[in-house]
Amino acid sequence: MTDSKYFTTTKKGEIFELKAELNSDKKEKKKEAVKKVIASMTVGKDVSALFPDVVNCMQTDNLELKKLVYLYLMNYAKSQPDMAIMAVNTFVKDCEDPNPLIRALAVRTMGCIRVDKITEYLCEPLRKCLKDEDPYVRKTAAVCVAKLHDINAQLVEDQGFLDTLKDLISDSNPMVVANAVAALSEIAESHPNSNLLDLNPQTINKLLTALNECTEWGQIFILDCLANYTPRDDRESQSICERVTPRLSHANSAVVLSAVKVLMKFMEMLPKDLDYYGTLLKKLAPPLVTLLSAEPELQYVALRNINLIVQRRPEILKHEMKVFFVKYNDPIYVKLEKLDIMIRLASQANIAQVLAELKEYATEVDVDFVRKAVRAIGRCAIKVEQSAERCVSTLLDLIQTKVNYVVQEAIVVIKDIFRKYPNKYESVIATLCENLDSLDEPEARAAMIWIVGEYAERIDNADELLESFLEGFHDESTQVQLQLLTAIVKLFLKKPTETQELVQQVLSLATQDSDNPDLRDRGYIYWRLLSTDPVAAKEVVLAEKPLISEETDLIEPTLLEELICHIGTLASVYHKPPSAFVEGSRGVQHKRLPGSAGSGESVESPDPGSAAGVAEAPPAVIPSQGDLLGDLLNLDLTPPTTTGPPPAPSSGMQLGAMDLLGGGLDSLMGDESEPLGGDLGGGTAMGAGFGAAPAAMPASFGAPVSGGLDDLFDLGGGVGMPMGAYSPPKTVWLPAMKAKGLEISGTFARRAGVIQMEMTLTNKAMSVMTDFAIQFNRNSFGLAPAGPLQILTPLSPNQSIEASLPLSTVGPVMKMEPLTNLQVAVKNNIDVFYFSCQYPISMLFVEDGKMERQVFLATWKDIPNDNESQFQIKDCHLSSDAVSNKLQGSNVFTIAKRTVEGQDMLYQSMKLTNGIWVLAELRVQTGNPNYTVSLKCRAPEVSQCVFQSYEAMLKN
């Protein structure tokens, strides 16, 4: 009869019945009961109530029953640590049992019980098992040391277990050696600087001796350990390679890849003129080829590793091109990977073969594969110059098929071929232009526009072609818009008389009608270039382009070196270093190949002083006579008379704030830029008819401003020391009834420039809470925890604990509604709980938010009046000095104070963490408890939140 009967019981009082059976005198009945308990545990029922009864069953000679009880114990020891201590005596006894299987079972289970209280009782039994006469027990004990080290590293070091492990490397049994190496490697990974595996020629010799006799996984552990060794010279390197080479013929693909990793690393130290070097290259090819006859998943892993090997040493597989030809029944992921390797191995010798294959692939049915095949033809043309002509004619044949996606891919790669071989294959442009209407993918449209712009002088109707794209300019992707802008400017510089309307139209669309900062910036640069110096414009825009390199997708050399050291691991499949995907990555070491360590790393850092000097210089402006604030404050703003030419328009101004979600500096041009006007003549007068490029601001901020300004901005009088930053009182964010007894109340504070999320966690449940962690959803200002939630002690029932979590503002950004909403997930040992709270925007006011006086005036003028919001703050009884004082504590800086007819007017600035500036005018009238605040900002969405913070700061 099978064991399925244990899963089918539905009687009432099941736990009670099991309890009775577990305490039965009959051994068979006892065993049946334990099986039922394990069955219930497996399907997820809670049978922890039976802990003491199951533990009593440990006292038995029956190995099967003992294994079942140990299985139960491993599962429930963590939730019942006090009860688990009852089992300690049995472990100690079992570790001295005459049967080595029972001794090993006891020590293995001890390692799996992750309970701190028990670990100290287990040291003696473990010490005995590490020196046991039976190798099976020793190898199990070696792994147990690594598990114990994970629970309590200090204890393992104090008890001297690490030294015992090192001694086991000299053990006579190869499996014990392999497990000792595995355990030491595991411990060394979490303590990278400990130098536990002190590898020397004697140790290496012992490992190589054990290598031939241990199991396949033991071999992998030893090979991975060898890969971390750096030989003293090429002779030692060759000797190790000779002893590792037989592993290449192993049946297990993991052993083969580990051996390849060791050989790839040690080959770096062998001189290339050595006979053995050539022999080794030949020996490496067959095992790699054999891996490709395995099932598809293994093939894929092998191909990803081969991709790295081929980039480092293409000569290993240069004669094996046919192995990488695609089979009709290969899955798509294998096909794409094979294609990649084919291109890497393409050379003059085999290019005809490769092209014939690729042309076949381009007529397949799988769209992704066909696209990659067409791209591959283009890459071959760029890589092997002699094949370029044949590749171009193949691509033209494919374009004639009129299959939409084939045509589009072909156009993208022909653009690259033009870049590599200028003035050679331009005769095909006519064929490309015939297919213009069928292009619907951004990359293909952008490529075609580039071709038309680059060869505009050879295409009679280039202006018509580009104009056809311009009709739906705003519906195009950014990539196409940028390419179209550049292409039309190129066309204008080549045929100025015929295309002036077209260039005016595209510059107007790019600068005035677009909200994409990249497009606007490029538009303004072209506009200024054309209007100030057409000759320079020609030199910049029509400059000779560098040829593109043959391999643009090669992995960067230092990363490739690191990945070669990780062959056979996940890193070699992802093509990313372990630090990029191992969470926490506390023990991830960056590995390098021996011959090339330290190469090319001494890049001189630029002089920090020079860069800092540029960044720190404050921008300077002289406001114009009609300045809004200038009139309001009735100041004498006439600039001092100067001789010499007027200042040039400044384009690098830092006045504009970032857009709300940190997308870059808003253009300072506003909507007041003059339209392009005049008729454009050819030649040198070409730029003369342009309305001067819209000037940002007058360019010299630093000129002294006379008279009243100095007095007005003298803030010394009457403004005392600022008070502390405002922090709202704590509120309940997560009520206990919604979080299984966990209550969280909190607030936000800003201290010494760091935003703190201050929480009180209260346990209103009956059980202890541990393992707290916290995570935020994306939010408007990129708030994210700057470190883990530090709650180091368990939270007992009816206990509260204070926690302060520092926050950074470099997390992912997404606009929230309301703007300052924050969605939070808190995890503990019970469950994951979700809540949302709102932070006051004043937490985001940074310490360098005090604007220069003149900059303030200019910026106020520059921000459109539509962006101004006015609010009333009621029932506030503070003097203007007290207001200024209070706000400065929260990084709201008063730039100027002026009294008009008994009313104090404070001009203030603040800057948010993402670079947005907010300017304020606050009117305070003596005896009137109602204040008026006017806010101006490039991102008017924040004004409401800023007003709410003003109100909260002044009233608390």
- The sign one gets for the Cα dihedral 421, 426, 428, 429 is positive
Q: What is the pLDDT of residues 825-834, one digit of tens each?
A: 999 998 899 9
Structure tokens belonging to residue 366: 């799988």
Query: So what's the pLDDT on residue 875?
Result: 86
Of 426, 391, 382, nearest in space to 410 by CA: 391
Structure tokens belonging to residue 537: 């414009």
Give the mean pLDDT of the chain.
Answer: 79
> pLDDT tier at 595 (50, 70, 90 boundaries)?
low
378 pLDDT above the threshold of 80: yes
What is the mean predicted confidence (pLDDT) over 467-483?
A: 87
User: What gap in Å lies between CA 562 and CA 590, rounded to an integer?
Assistant: 7
Q: What is the pLDDT of residues 754-787, one digit of tens each?
A: 999 999 999 988 888 998 999 999 999 999 999 8
User: What gap in Å lies between CA 807 and CA 801, rounded to an integer?
Assistant: 19
3-class secondary-structure state, position 924:
strand
What is the mean predicted confidence (pLDDT) over 841-860?
A: 89
Query: So what's the pLDDT on residue 573?
Result: 93
User: What gap in Å lies between CA 649 and CA 505, rounded to an integer?
Assistant: 23
Asked whether 489 and 503 are in contact (CB, 8 A), the reply is yes
Give residues with Cβ within 8 angstroms of 57, minimum separation 6: 22, 30, 34, 65, 69
Structure tokens belonging to residue 799: 């206990």
Query: So what's the pLDDT on residue 907?
Result: 92
Q: What is the pLDDT of residues 901-947, one digit of tens each?
A: 888 889 999 999 888 899 999 998 888 888 899 999 988 889 999 99
The separation between the first and the last C-alpha atoms of the chain, rounded to the nearest angstrom, is 77
What is the mean predicted confidence (pLDDT) over 708-721?
A: 37
Structure tokens belonging to residue 934: 């006017």
Query: So what's the pLDDT on residue 194?
Result: 66
User: What gap in Å lies between CA 699 and CA 244, rounded to an integer?
Assistant: 71
Please tell me the least confidently modeled range out of 283-292, 426-435, 653-662, 731-740: 653-662
The residue written with tokens 């606050």 in the block is 922
Structure tokens belonging to residue 750: 């800003």
User: What gap in Å lies between CA 932 and CA 339, rounded to an integer?
Assistant: 69
Residue 305, number of CB atoms within 10 A of its CB: 26
What is the mean predicted confidence (pLDDT) over 84-96?
A: 78
Asked whether 517 and 659 are in contact (CB, 8 A), the reply is yes
> pLDDT tier at 611 (50, 70, 90 boundaries)?
very low
Q: What is the pLDDT of residues 126-142, one digit of tens each?
A: 888 888 888 999 989 99
Structure tokens belonging to residue 839: 């932070």
Q: What is the DSSP string of 40-66?
A: HHHTT---GGGHHHHHHTTS-S-HHHH
What is the mean predicted confidence (pLDDT) over 291-308?
A: 91
User: What gap in Å lies between CA 231 and CA 308, rounded to an integer?
Assistant: 23
Cis omega (within 30 of 0) for bond into 818: yes
Asked whether 726 and 747 are in contact (CB, 8 A), the reply is no
What is the mean predicted confidence (pLDDT) over 490-510?
A: 87
- The sign one gets for the Cα dihedral 419, 425, 426, 429 is negative
Query: So what's the pLDDT on residue 486?
Result: 92
- CA of 495: how far to CAs of 147, 257, 418, 458, in Å? 75, 60, 22, 11
User: What gap in Å lies between CA 85 and CA 117, rounded to an integer?
Assistant: 8
What is the mean predicted confidence (pLDDT) over 307-314?
A: 89
Q: What is the pLDDT of residues 852-883, one digit of tens each?
A: 888 898 888 888 888 899 998 888 888 888 88
- CA of 672: how far to CAs of 491, 512, 525, 735, in Å? 27, 9, 17, 53
User: What gap in Å lies between CA 381 and CA 358, rounded to an integer?
Assistant: 12
Residue 318, number of CB atoms within 10 A of its CB: 15
Query: So what's the pLDDT on residue 196?
Result: 73
713 pLDDT above the threshold of 70: no
* Residue 496, CA atoms < 13 Å, CB-side half-sphere: 18
> pLDDT tier at 550 (50, 70, 90 boundaries)?
low
> pLDDT tier at 715 (50, 70, 90 boundaries)?
very low
What is the mean predicted confidence (pLDDT) over 153-158?
A: 83
Query: So what's the pLDDT on residue 759?
Result: 94
What is the mean predicted confidence (pLDDT) over 632-641?
A: 35
Of 236, 243, 324, nearest in space to 288 by CA: 324
